[in-house]
């Protein structure tokens, strides 16, 4: 008996890379899967139906159930049609995994409006589009015990601030905020919402010079299939307790990110501009040791400090 027997899943961007690994594992564990992929090049150009169809063929050849969908998830109507296809093909929808993505890397000072818009459109708007229609469907089910699952893909690029990917980092952190909002809004309808920050050797990472596969052995450990088990876990009915979390999955490591938290604060008794010298001193005294002592703003979070009163 598979771990996802009888469940119905949509995996966007599952014609290649990490998404394909997720679709295959969900199907192997008994889920019926809608394999969505526009089949585009890394920059989002040149659509092609071959990748999604190939994954569906593989799943069926292995004895699983799958149908292909070639829609652009960045189009609201196409995303709605994708959700409808799952329900029409398999009778319901339990799991939505938003994996689809593109890259248009450029340093901020050279980035065009078009490069910014294209990446925000696919990652952030695409994640909204599919989730919005899935959420409306789950709300209609009126089943708080439904074990419904929204699983979005974020990135270390946003969580740690990749300098050459301002568009992608912004979209991926937007997805984190979106996931937290969904976690709070949809729990009452039986939906958990979590995000995955993956790491794998795919055409996406091959395009980034310092992340290229370094050896065949490295390639095996960083195989895209290694991300899928963490997704399958979140998708399973037993993972109701896990909501509003960011999980990292790369190679043979699966981790849990902390949520942003207030580390320290100064509390005043009146407007801060009454004595700016004092305000500046207080801010430096309270925050500088935390920022510099931990190796900078992106170092692991230290334990919360007691408030410094004014
Ligand atoms: N590979 C990594 O190490 C890594 C790291 C961090 C985050 N990610 C994220 O993981 C996800 C998968 O990345 P990957 O490395 O497998 O990339 P990939 O390029 O191999 O696969 C992405 C797939 O999304 C599809 N796609 C793109 N735009 C689409 C659209 N509008 N509608 C439908 N499908 C579309 C593409 O055709 C492609 O098959 C992405 O969201 C990516 O940002 C990957």
pLDDT at 304 over 80: no
**What does pTM read for this prediction?**
0.94
pLDDT in tens, 63-76: 999 999 999 999 99
Interval 235-256: pLDDT, tens = 999 999 999 999 999 999 999 9
Residue spans in the chain of domains classed CATH 3.40.50.720: 8-256
Nearest atom in ligand 1 to the alpha carbon of residue 199 is 3
Cα of 104 vs centre of ligand 1, distance in Å, is 12
Q: Specify whether the CB–CB gap between 67 and 35 falls below 8 A.
A: yes
Catalytic: 172?
Answer: yes
Q: Which atom of ligand 1 is nearest to the CA of 100?
A: 24
User: What pLDDT, on a 0 to 100 scale, did the predictor assign at position 243?
Assistant: 98
Report the distance separating Cα 28 and Cα 22, nearest Å: 10
**Cα separation values, 205 from 120, 157, 199, 281, Å:** 19, 11, 8, 44
- 58, 123, 186, 246, 290 from 102: Cα distances, Å: 24, 8, 27, 21, 36
Query: Is 168 in the active site?
Result: yes
Mean pLDDT over residues 188-205, rounded?
Answer: 97
Marked catalytic residue, from 14, 137, 172, 193: 172
Strands 148-153, 191-199: pairing kind: parallel
pLDDT computed for residue 219 by the predictor: 58
Q: Does 180 qualify as catalytic in the annotation?
A: no
The tens digit of pLDDT for each residue in 100-141 reads 999 999 999 999 999 999 999 999 999 999 999 999 999 999
pLDDT for the residue numbered 310: 28
Pocket probe for ligand 1: among 17, 153, 249, 253, the residue whose CB has the most ligand atoms within 8 Å is 17
Residue 119, token pair as written in the block: 């990446």
Cβ-defined contacts of 155-164 (< 8 Å, 24+): 155/197, 155/198, 156/197, 156/199, 156/248, 159/197, 159/246, 159/257, 160/298, 161/298, 163/107, 164/105, 164/106, 164/107
In this structure, the chain runs to a length of: 310
Question: Which residue, 159, 155, 152, 158, is CA-closest to 179?
Answer: 152
Task: Read off the tokens for 287.
Answer: 């925050």
CA of 146 to the centre of ligand 1 (A): 28
pLDDT tens digits, one per residue of 13-28: 999 999 999 999 999 9
* Residue ID of nearest Cα to ligand 1 atom 4: 199
Instruction: Please enumerate in sequence order all residues whose Cβ is within 8 A of that of 274, keeping only pairs 6 or more positions apart, or say none.
Output: none
Does domain 8-256 bear CATH number 3.40.50.720? yes
Q: What is the mean pLDDT of the chain?
A: 93
Mutate which of 44, 127, 170, 198 to test ligand 1's pocket (most atoms within 8 Å of Cβ)? 198
Instruction: State yes or no: pLDDT of 209 exceeds 90.
Output: no
């Amino acid at each position: 008996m598979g771990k996802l027997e009888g469940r119905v899943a949509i995996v966007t961007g599952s014609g290649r890379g990490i998404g394909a690994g997720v679709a295959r594992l969900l199907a192997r564990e008994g889920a019926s899967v809608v394999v969505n992929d526009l089949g585009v090049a890394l920059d989002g150009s040149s659509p092609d139906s071959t990748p999604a169809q190939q994954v569906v063929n593989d799943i069926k050849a292995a004895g699983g159930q799958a149908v292909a969908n070639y829609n652009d998830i960045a189009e609201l109507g196409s995303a709605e049609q994708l959700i409808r296809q799952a329900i029409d093909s398999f009778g319901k929808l339990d799991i939505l995994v938003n994996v689809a993505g593109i890259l248009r890397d450029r340093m901020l000072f050279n980035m065009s409006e078009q490069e910014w818009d294209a990446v925000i459109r696919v990652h952030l708007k695409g994640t909204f589009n599919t989730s919005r229609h899935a959420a409306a469907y789950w709300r209609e089910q009126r089943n708080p015990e439904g074990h419904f699952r929204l699983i979005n893909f974020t990135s270390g690029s946003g969580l740690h601030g990749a300098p050459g990917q301002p568009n992608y980092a912004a979209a991926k952190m937007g997805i984190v905020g979106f996931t937290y909002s969904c976690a709070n809004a949809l729990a009452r309808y039986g939906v958990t919402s979590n995000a995955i920050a993956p790491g794998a050797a795919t055409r996406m990472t091959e395009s980034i010079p310092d992340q290229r596969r370094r050896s065949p052995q490295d390639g095996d450990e960083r195989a895209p299939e290694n991300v899928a088990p963490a997704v399958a876990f979140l998708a399973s009915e037993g993972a109701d307790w896990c909501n509003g979390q960011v999980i990292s999955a790369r190679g043979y490591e699966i981790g849990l990110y902390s949520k942003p938290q207030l580390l320290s604060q100064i509390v005043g008794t009146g407007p801060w501009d009454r004595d700016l010298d004092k305000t500046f001193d207080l801010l430096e005294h309270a925050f500088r040791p935390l920022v510099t002592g931990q190796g900078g703003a992106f170092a692991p979070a230290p334990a919360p400090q007691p408030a410094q009163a004014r």
